[in-house]
Amino acid sequence: MNDNGLSYKDAGVDIDAANQSVEMIKKWVGMTKRPEVLADIGSFGGFFALDNSKYREPVLVSGTDGVGTKLKIAQMMGVHDSVGIDLVAMCVNDILVHGAEPLFFLDYIALGKLEPVLVEALVKGVSQGCVQAGCALIGGETAEMPGFYRDDEYDLAGFAVGVVERSRVINGSAIKEGDLLIGLPSSGLHSNGFSLVRKVLLEKAGLKLDSYVEALGKTLGEVLIAPTRIYVKTILPLLEEVEVSGMAHITGGGIGENLQRILPAGMGAVIDVAAINTPPIFKLIEELGQVPREEMFRTFNMGIGFILAISPHHYDKALKCLRTKGEKPIVIGKISRDAEGVAIK
């Protein structure tokens, strides 16, 4: 071997660091294990044996997503152990709207420079998200990409797979005139609209992430980095007790566009803005950026992270079940044939 020859490490890719990362994350992966998981992390593939005794006609439901430019906030703050929760939330909440129980999750981490401590922090967050969702983290991929990302940059993506009985798939087709729309509060911005957030708060208004903001009661960074809520352990028990006509995860596009995705032909919805308790961070963005109210509702969740369409006949039982799980449900509107699309008033 030529002692003067170049190595992969000289090119910026450290295989030893990658191996060290795998060892460091094993404890976090182990925390998410379900009985159906057949192999430990490190295999070429993740193995999950579906328990067919629970389902007559099991339907697998999958969803994929990333965290988006919220990662810029995490990187600026040096806080890396919560954005993994966002990653899991964005995927499992999407498949949850169809009534699916999340079974397993895989992540993809791309970095400019692989630092084992950083990878461990990111996977710790993914693990915490999986625990909240009740799913297993059965594998993933870490890619060191010098020259593509800066040394202090990384990106996260992932996907979740869940299962639901075919006869219990929820797709909005059961939504009827007069159904009530029940909103579940978000924890704040969740993981959408951060390009506008940074433009308004950091660039235009010149606020600092470590600045205490009176209107928020916290530092700006604390509010922006708050993880996306995971609704699995609220919704799955509800589905065992109450017939739900449709559900929507409120992400990019806000209430209007995400609710529109589940409305049957000929049905519209009317949203009562006054019923929504909008967190102060949204008002701060609106005021400092002079962002029109319509644009705010198109970009952000405005305080509502998940919506259920439920018949008035099931309303009392639904609210009782949700409150038992610690939720604070709010009736934010109703289904109406007279509305064109989703009318936010």
Confidence at residue 17, expressed as pLDDT on a 0 to 100 scale: 77
pLDDT grade for 262, boundaries at 50, 70 and 90: very high
State the pLDDT at residue 1: 47
Q: Is the pLDDT of residue 296 over 50?
A: yes
Tell me what pLDDT residue 42 has: 59
Is the pLDDT score of 24 beyond 80? no
* Residue 132 shares a structural domain with residue 225: no
pLDDT tens column, 199-226? 999 999 999 999 999 999 999 999 999 9
Contact predicate 225/79, CB 8 Å: yes
Encode 211-274 in three state secondary structure: CEECCCCEEHHHHHHCCCCCCHHHHHHHHHHCCCCEEEECCCCHHHHHHHCCCCCCCEEEECHH
Predicted confidence (pLDDT) at residue 36 exceeds the cutoff of 60: yes
147 and 219 fall within a common domain = no
Average pLDDT over residues 84-103: 98
Residue 173 lies in a domain: no
Last residue of a domain, one of 133, 168, 203: 168
Residue 132 structure tokens:
């909240």
**In this structure, is residue 288 part of a structural domain?**
yes
Least confident of 20-24, 135-139, 162-166, 325-329: 20-24
Within a domain: residue 129?
Answer: yes
Instruction: Provide, rounded to the nearest whole percent, the portion of the chain with pLDDT above 70.
Output: 96
Give a yes or no: residue 287 inside a domain: yes
Query: Which pLDDT belongs to residue 104?
Result: 97
Report how far residue 209's alpha carbon sits from residue 327's, in angstroms, rounded to the nearest whole number.
29
Sign of CA dihedral 268, 270, 271, 273: positive
Regarding whether 209 and 141 lie in a shared domain, the answer is no
- Range in 6-20, 138-152, 284-298 with the lowest mean pLDDT: 6-20
Of 333, 247, 257, which is closest to residue 294 (Cα–Cα)? 257
Is 2 inside a domain boundary? no
- Domain presence at residue 323: yes
Banded pLDDT at 22 (limits 50, 70, 90): confident
**9: in domain:** no
Same domain, 184 and 164: no
CATH code for the domain of 72: 3.30.1330.10
Q: How many structural domains does the chain have? A: 2
Span 182-189, average pLDDT: 98
Task: Provide the pLDDT for residue 41.
Answer: 63
Q: What mean pLDDT comes out for the span 124-130?
A: 97
Shared domain for 200 and 307, answered yes or no, is yes
Q: What is the mean pLDDT of the chain?
A: 93
DSSP-assigned states of every residue in 33-82: --TTB-S-TTSSS--B---GGG-SSEEEEEEEEE-TTHHHHHHHHT--SS
Residue 7 lies in a domain: no
pLDDT score recorded for residue 15: 74
> pLDDT digit string (tens) for 249-258?
999 999 999 9
Domain of residue 253, residue span: 180-344
This prediction's pTM:
0.93
